[in-house]
Chain A
Amino acid sequence: MKMRTLDRRTLLKGAGVAVGLPMLDAMVRPGRSEAAVAKRFIGVFESNGHIIEKWTPSGTETAFTLNTIHQPLVPHQKDLIFIAGLDNMASQSGPGSDHIRGFGSMLTGCSMQSGTFEGGGFKSGFADGISLDQRLAGVLGAGTKFKSLELGVAVDGIGHPETRMIFQAPGQPVAPQGDPIAVFARLFGQGAGLSQAALEKRLKVRKSVLDAVLADYGSLKSKLGSTDRTKVDAHLTSVREIEQRLDIRPPVVTAACQSPTAPTIMGITCKDQLSCPSDKIPEIGKAHMDLLVLAIACELTHVVTLQWGNCGNRYSFPWLGIKDLHHDLGHQANTNPLAREKLVKIETWYAEQFAYLLTKLKGVSEGSGTLYDNSLVLYSNELSDPDKHSHNNMPYIVGGRAGGQLKLGRFKQYGNVPHNNILVSCLNLMGVPATTFGYPQFCTGPLTGL
């Protein structure tokens, strides 16, 4: 008979950080100048590791040649930093499969909580910390309609440690949206077709309703034990955020925002991996990248993440002539040359998608430059070697000029440096003066020489 205690501990752990969240606004560097920090954060996730030999550039920090996988990024080489030699140490302890540990810790710098989700034959809970993007959203989201935007291409609809990389607090995952049409409706459809008077009315009714709802949850909260209280508190915080943002009208900053066009995707929704025919993935991915750029161009949000599938991702790549599932190929990377070749092909395709995103960001002008100049982009994976399931020598790409703070066009090699440090660097580049992030035992401060 299986008798186990459920993840109550998990939720208990969540209480501390959730309560701490409102502090974040106060942590923004006072009097920061607009030019000195990045305004936006864009995180991109690709699954199943990399063929490191074909990933790692050759040459020196400033004079280097991109490897096979990164050929599509050659036009952007001078605008990116390729980073090797970071170890994801937080993933090397705690429960969960290799994929899950690497994934959960990727943006949180924390291990997995214990829990009852089964994956790869191991049980775990969700990640034990807030993710970088959500921490940033707490700071950068204050003036935008959406604190953050999470997009996912053929991500499994089921919420599970294998499918969630974003955490608003320890153990509290945030689901990405999969259907570009629904994302567009959320971003631009609110109040579409309503007269100004009708919009004003809706806003006023909303305010009155949400005030009552907030009072209701506040009253309930005080009557609950701590496990339930954590849960209801997350709900309360979410409602409060909506309430606080009711008055925000996005400023129209680019011509594209005056008449945003909906994605032209015919006859597919791709809400999740199940409903997404694998041959539609490129189309859906492109639609998401277009929306991502549109959302930040229109100042609807400052924090966006794009998640290509789950960790240990299982979709195939029929448009590349690859019928095998990505995860299955990963397990053959070091023993089957044919599989290895296919993986290189897959990773090159992902690099091509990344190049598309970068080009789009550079294509929207802002002030005297482009969106790219005031953004910070982080490209990451849950594994390094897909076959060994390694979490050492993790590959990253950093991009965006971050308001002019970053010296781009480099290949930076570290050795035995914890990956939590890159998360701290990202916080600093966005104007958050942190010295540590995630589990402190796996963090020694910001990356030196980034």
Chain B
Amino acid sequence: MFRSAKLIACLAVAGCMGDIEGTMDEPGEPPIDKSMNPEVPPGTLPPGTVPPPPSCQTLSPGPAPIRRLTRFEYNNTVRQLLDDTSNPADAFAPEEVALGWDNNAFALGVTPLVAEQYLNAAEALAEKATADLPKLLKCDPAITGEAKCAQTFIDAFGKRAYRRPLTTEDRTRLTKVYTDNRAAFDFRTGISAVVQTALLSSSFFYRVELTPAGATGPVKLGPWELASRLSYLLWNSMPDDALFAVAESGALTTREQIAAQAQRLLADPKAKAVVRRFHQQWLGLTKADGLEKDKATFPTFTADLGPLFRQESERFIEQVIWQGSGDYRQLFTAPYTFINAKLSTFYGMDPVTGTAWQQVTPTVGERSGVLSQGSLMATLAKNNQTDPITRGKFVREHFFCQTLPDPPPGVNVTVPVPTPNSSTRERFARHSSDPACSGCHLLLDKLGFGFENYDGVGKWRTTDTGRAVDASGEIAGTDVEGPFRGVRELGAKLGGSKDVRSCMTLQYFRFSYGRGETDLDECTVKYLNDAFAKSGYRPRDLLVALTQTDSFLYRPAIVAGGTP
């Protein structure tokens, strides 16, 4: 049943090259004409302006699957809804991650364990919330009467929890829960049961968007649905009172009104947390938290450095995205970073004083945005040496949205053991000379060698086992082909790449819409690419543009009980 090793080797080469060339196309699906994204000169609009809406001939919204709250969204939502800062969702089972994102609507499901965890959380939240009834109710049952006060609470709280006015059915159901538990126990228990029911209901836990009866073509979303789409896109949380108010008043209908609200939400710190979350997932920053290294090889590395690597990158990203020009390309090119005293000592940079984090432009070594930060360099490494393969693969997958296969079975993938007499580059050389491996590895290692100035814990080095580091690399199979030397030249290439820019748009699309792109999103993606370019590649503006597309404002009509 086994294929011969030789055949496998050939397949590997062909497979890898084929994959790179056709990286964006799934077999069996028609390739998309790349000319649909003509280059738009960047910066043709003043920052903060979103270009006019897409001019597609026919409305074409992509699929709109029902979206479950992620743990992050659950925590944020109960913080706003109940003023509860306990982050109860931290105890929930983790999300299924598809396409690199933990909020993919198709991938997230509910199992008995998860349902049990929601129940426990709802009980605990309700108990805490009803401990201070006057704060929760905003009416006094002793004055208005219990029944009236409860009804007022059900309507007001229900509307915020469900993020829309209650239907008659909702109200009847919540009222019965109150009445039954009031009768069996007491007023507080009745209110607590209402809170529990609301927190466990489908309208709290999912973002439900129903198709009006009789609709056939694309359906324009209503103001309450749009309010939730806006707040969950930009805050990963529920709408605030102001957003509810415009939804209620009918002033959340036009693209301009929606863009204005998007700009308002973007100015709130909650939006910063969402952008931080985007980068944590895109760059795998949280992997740094649990970093382990071989003590003999890296004696100065200690476990507390991992979280500092992550914080360094988070502070840096916040600076790039929210301060100054806000051009994402600086993530690859900026000469500065953020360090504290412990990190400066570890990196061997000019010492900083005090315990606070500081923005510095290091004089030692080449710095080029995240490409030279410990969060990437130390996680994209073995525990006792660097790893050019993983580094090259990361660049291709995360920055170019390419997919690369694992080594085929039967091929010796022995990781070369570090010796005192060989540089990493020499040890990995076989990959590129053996035809069984070189098909893929020329694409990976040659790119990864460009990072050789950063050792396995992310420290700058000029020698590797006594030899001068050779950080020359090459990047094939992209629109910025050709040789480069070191992270600074690589950063310049990434910053100048149109493929990387399109990949960025896709990553924001997937993160923001909670799904992968489909053929129906063609017009939406084209508009986003244009808008991103016109803004001068500012993610802040891309986020607003994401609220202006067909796929955001509309959904395909769904026949209840029908397909899909």
Contact = CB atoms under 8 A, between A and B. Distances in A.
A complexed with B:
yes
Interface of A: 1-8, 10-12, 92, 97-98, 115-118, 120-123, 146-147, 150, 157-160, 164, 168, 172-175, 177, 182, 186, 201-202, 204-206, 208-210, 212-213, 215-217, 219-220, 222-229, 231-232, 234-235, 238-239, 241-242, 272, 274-278, 316, 323-324, 328, 331-332, 334-336, 339, 387-390, 392
A235 B95 CA distance: 15
A232 B203 CA distance: 12
B57 interface: no
A216 B202 contact: yes
B414 A121 contact: no
Interface string B183-226: 01100010011001100111100101010000000000000000
A47 B519 CA distance: 38
Interface in B145-202: 169-170, 173-174, 176-177, 180-181, 184-185, 189, 192-193, 196-197, 200-202
B472 to A, nearest CB: 27
B407 interface: yes
A8 B516 CA distance: 11
B559 interface: yes
Q: Which 4 A-B pairs have the closest CB atoms?
A: A121-B405, A159-B96, A389-B409, A238-B115
B193 A209 contact: yes
A226 B561 contact: yes
Contacts of A6: 63, 106, 515-516, 518
B160 to A, nearest CB: 17
A328 B413 contact: yes
Interface in B538-564: 558-564
Nearest to A11: B106
B47 to A, nearest CB: 26
Contacts of B23: 2
Given A206-B119, A216-B201, A388 B66 contact: no
Given A201-B185, A332-B414, A7 B208 contact: no
B467 interface: no
A172 B111 contact: yes
Contact of B189 (A121, A205, A231): A205
Given A223-B210, A225-B558, A8 B564 contact: yes
Contacts of B497: none
Nearest to B68: A231
Interface in B479-497: none
A231 B383 CA distance: 41
Nearest to B505: A1
B65 A227 contact: yes
Given A11-B106, A159-B94, A201-B185, A175 B65 contact: no
11 contacts: A1-B517, A2-B24, A2-B25, A3-B29, A6-B63, A123-B403, A146-B112, A175-B111, A208-B177, A212-B173, A392-B1
Given A3-B521, A173-B96, A323 B384 contact: yes
Interface centre among B106, B122, B506 (most CB of A within 10 A): B106
A305 to B, nearest CB: 13
Nearest to A312: B406
Contacts of B242: none
Interface in B378-414: 383-384, 401, 403-407, 409-414
B197 A212 contact: yes
Given A159-B94, A159-B96, A216 B412 contact: no
Given A123-B403, A175-B113, A323-B383, A5 B561 contact: no
Contact of B32 (A1, A147, A215, A272): A1
A92 B3 CA distance: 13
Interface centre among B68, B563, B564 (most CB of A within 10 A): B564
A226 B63 CA distance: 13
Interface residues of B, number: 100
A173 B113 CA distance: 11
A228 B292 contact: no
Contacts of B506: 1-2
A215 B404 contact: no
B97 interface: yes
Contacts of B558: 224-225, 228
Contact of B181 (A92, A205, A219, A339): A205
Given A238-B115, A388-B410, 20 more contacts: A2-B24, A4-B26, A116-B98, A123-B403, A159-B96, A174-B112, A182-B91, A205-B185, A208-B177, A208-B181, A208-B184, A212-B174, A212-B176, A213-B201, A216-B203, A225-B561, A225-B564, A276-B290, A336-B414, A339-B414
A158 B113 contact: no
Contacts of A277: 290, 292
Given A3-B521, A120-B405, A388-B410, A209 B196 contact: yes
Contacts of B102: 158
B289 interface: yes
B66 A4 contact: no
B96 A160 contact: yes
Interface string B6-44: 000000000100010001111001001010110000000
